[in-house]
Amino acid sequence: MIQPMQHLWAPWRMAFIKGEKPAGCFFCEAAGADPSEDEVRLVLARTGRSLAMLNRYPYNNGHLMVAPVTHLANLEDLPPTTASDMTLLTQRSLRVLRDVLKPHGFNLGINAGKIAGAGVADHVHQHVVPRWDGDTNFMPVTADTKVLNETLATSYQQLRAGFDRIT
């Protein structure tokens, strides 16, 4: 028997759906900001070439993004040292997420271009989405229910402590 779809109110996604995003590139703004602003900008970790930050419009708890500091749209245009740095920061992100949130798996991906679903098409970035048995699919289009059981502030505090602890 097909169950009727349940609806969950998630008002934080409406600004994203309506396209009400601030002008400019939030990756570049975060990269250029003083580290004292990291909590407000949801920056979890920085290297000389990359940064990891929580997604303001997450698909799941702990959904973060790894981006180069350099504003480039295409993965193939990244210098090898930057591409390598992004990979190393992604690996560190996976270690932290496994330690702090204990997910059962991950979705990792780059949406290359607006047509491919990139919300920020002109600054390449990789999504790291923790997954648990029984959660909804990656893009909950046909899901019965989607629950984010933690605020961004709580996720940030827990994950930032993990990044401070785990290299």
pLDDT means per 10 residues, the chain with 167 residues, are 54 59 85 96 97 92 96 96 98 98 96 87 95 67 55 91 93
Q: Residue ranges of the domains in the chain?
A: 11-165
Q: How far is CA 81 from CA 31, 47, 76, 86, 153, in A?
A: 17, 12, 12, 9, 32
Chain mean position to CA 93: 10
Q: Are 62 and 101 in contact (CB under 8 A)?
A: yes
The catalytic residue among 7, 63, 71, 125 is: 125
Q: What is the pLDDT of residue 118?
A: 83
Adjacent-strand bridge partners of 51: 46, 67
Q: What is the pLDDT of residue 128?
A: 97
Question: Active-site residue 125, yes or no?
Answer: yes
DSSP assigned state of 43? E
Q: Token digits for 49?
A: 């070439």
Specify the residue for token string 């996604």.
13
Q: What is the pLDDT of residue 8?
A: 44
Q: What is the pLDDT of residue 1?
A: 61
CATH class, domain 11-165, is alpha beta
Q: What is the pLDDT of residue 37?
A: 97
Quickly count helices (H) and strands (E) in the chain.
5, 5
For 6, residues 6+ apart whose C-beta sits below 8 A from its C-beta are: 144, 145
In 62-104, the DSSP E strands lie at 64-68
Q: What is the pLDDT of residue 141?
A: 44
